[in-house]
Amino acid sequence: MNKLCNFAAVNKIIAMEHHHHHHSAQAQSLNGIFILSIILNVVFVLVEAGVGLWQNSLSLLSDAGHNLSDVFSLVLVLVAFRLAKVKSNEHYTYGYRKSTVLISLLNAVILLVAVGAIVIESIHKFSEPTDVNGIAVSWTAGIGIIINGATALLLMRGQKNDLNVRGAFLHMAADTLVSVGVVISGIVIAYTGWTVIDPIVSLIIAVVILISTWELLSDSLRLAVDGIPEGVDLKEIEQILTAEDHVKDAHHIHVWAISTTETALTAHVVVDDLSCWPEVSEHLKHELEEHGIAHATLEPETEDCHCHNREC
């Protein structure tokens, strides 16, 4: 029996080390991707803003402003990665992992402010239209399609497991579509001289940004107030707990996000035999981890002491 326990313990340690190595390698890869994305986008913002000022193009200037906010967002995500690595201490038992949620919320707010600025400038542009070089606008936005599209592709894999990375991916994907719209407006202006299309495209840009930001904002707000993370079904979690052998009931189930990538759970579990609890607990934690909950605290109770109106 001891040999089996030791063998199981060794396997568990190996699995944990493999998971830690995989997580560290993935984090290092994302760091490199974000640094490269920041450099590419800073260069493009400078080019786009310069051409926008030179050619009096509000659509280019508004897109450059949005791209600048995306650069700031990418920097904030890098900061979040660093803060998530800070070890726990006597004042912050989870370290600074929760800061990743707050940074995600801050990114969403920044984008909403950018939307407001674009809308105000677009309305002003309708009343005071200016001449725009459509060809210059199209070429500049075409460069944006390449840079934003490449950045979105780099972030595509990591966005499935992290709210901050998903936010950055959505922004880059939206920017790619926006750049396509700016190219179209530039061509229309070049061949028709209809400069009013410039503020119209700016308003479309604002709508696209708002749509892509809404999900990020709602998810960030939910996690900030300790709501259940996206993809976690409370009823399914309860079924996992109660389906285990020797488990009669589960209550006081609480699920919340420690960070944008880690989820925690606490629950009271009623069992028919406390001597079986070590095996039951280990198996339940493994099942919960398979469903995205890496930090589970389970408190055992017996049927004799459990009641509906009080705790043991």
The whole-number pLDDT of residue 1 equals 39
Let me know whether 180 and 298 are in one domain.
Answer: no
Whether 132 shows a pLDDT value over 70: the answer reads no
Let me know whether 190 and 141 are in one domain.
Answer: yes
Q: Which residues sit opposite 302 in a β-bridge?
A: 271
The whole-number pLDDT of residue 304 equals 67
pLDDT in tens, 85-117: 888 888 888 888 888 888 888 888 887 887 887
Mean pLDDT computed over 283-291: 91
The whole-number pLDDT of residue 256 equals 93
Let me know whether 33 and 105 are in one domain.
Answer: yes
Whether 11 shows a pLDDT value over 50: the answer reads no
Whether 121 shows a pLDDT value over 80: the answer reads no
Last residue of a domain, one of 177, 206, 224: 224
Let me know whether 51 and 183 are in one domain.
Answer: yes
Last residue of a domain, one of 224, 245, 269: 224
Q: How confident is the model at residue 131 (pLDDT cuts 50, 70, 90)?
A: low
Within a domain: 13: no
| Pairwise CA distance, residues 169 & 74, whole Å | 10
Whether 55 shows a pLDDT value over 80: the answer reads no
Say which range, 161-170, 251-260, 279-288, has the weakest mean pLDDT: 161-170
The whole-number pLDDT of residue 7 equals 37
What's the chain's average pLDDT? 79
Within a domain: 216: yes
**Hey, what's the torsion of the CAs at 66, 72, 74, 77, to 10 degrees?**
-130
pTM beyond 0.85: the answer is: no
Alpha-carbon distances, residue 172 vs 68, 151, 256 (angstroms)? 12, 7, 28
The whole-number pLDDT of residue 206 equals 81
The whole-number pLDDT of residue 12 equals 42
CATH label of the domain that carries residue 96: 1.20.1510.10
Say which range, 15-24, 121-130, 302-311, has the weakest mean pLDDT: 15-24
Within a domain: 307: no
Whether 165 shows a pLDDT value over 60: the answer reads yes
Within a domain: 8: no
Structural domains of the chain, count: 2
Let me know whether 25 and 148 are in one domain.
Answer: yes
Let me know whether 253 and 120 are in one domain.
Answer: no
Let me know whether 193 and 243 are in one domain.
Answer: no
Share above pLDDT 70 across residues of the chain, in percent, rounded to a whole number: 84
DSSP line for the chain: -HHHHHHHHHHHHHHHHHHHHHHHHHHHHHHHHHHHHHHHHHHHHHHHHHHHHHHT-HHHHHHHHHHHHHHHHHHHHHHHHHHHTSPP-SS-TTTTTTHHHHHHHHHHHHHHHHHHHHHHHHHHHHHS-----HHHHHHHHHHHHHHHHHHHHHHTTGGGT-HHHHHHHHHHHHHHHHHHHHHHHHHHHHHH--TTHHHHHHHHHHHHHHHHHHHHHHHHHHHHTTPPPTT--HHHHHHHHHTSTTEEEEEEEEEEESSSS-EEEEEEEEES-GGGHHHHHHHHHHHHHHTT--EEEEEEEETTT--SS---
Within a domain: 6: no
Last residue of a domain, one of 161, 191, 224: 224
Let me know whether 248 and 132 are in one domain.
Answer: no
Let me know whether 28 and 141 are in one domain.
Answer: yes
Within a domain: 204: yes
Q: Which domain holds residue 274?
A: 234-302
Within a domain: 185: yes
| Pairwise CA distance, residues 98 & 260, whole Å | 8
Whether 156 shows a pLDDT value over 90: the answer reads no
Share above pLDDT 90 across residues of the chain, in percent, rounded to a whole number: 18
Q: How confident is the model at residue 21 (pLDDT cuts 50, 70, 90)?
A: very low
CATH label of the domain that carries residue 239: 3.30.70.1350
Per-residue tokens: 121 = 């400038």
Let me know whether 210 and 287 are in one domain.
Answer: no
Q: How confident is the model at residue 160 (pLDDT cuts 50, 70, 90)?
A: low
Mean pLDDT computed over 54-66: 75
Within a domain: 12: no
The whole-number pLDDT of residue 106 equals 87
pLDDT in tens, 202-257: 788 788 878 878 888 898 899 999 999 888 899 999 999 999 988 999 999 999 99
Q: How confident is the model at residue 309 (pLDDT cuts 50, 70, 90)?
A: very low
Q: How confident is the model at residue 8 (pLDDT cuts 50, 70, 90)?
A: very low
Let me know whether 60 and 22 are in one domain.
Answer: yes
Mean pLDDT computed over 115-138: 76
Whether 35 shows a pLDDT value over 50: the answer reads yes
Q: How confident is the model at residue 277 (pLDDT cuts 50, 70, 90)?
A: very high
Let me know whether 285 and 156 are in one domain.
Answer: no
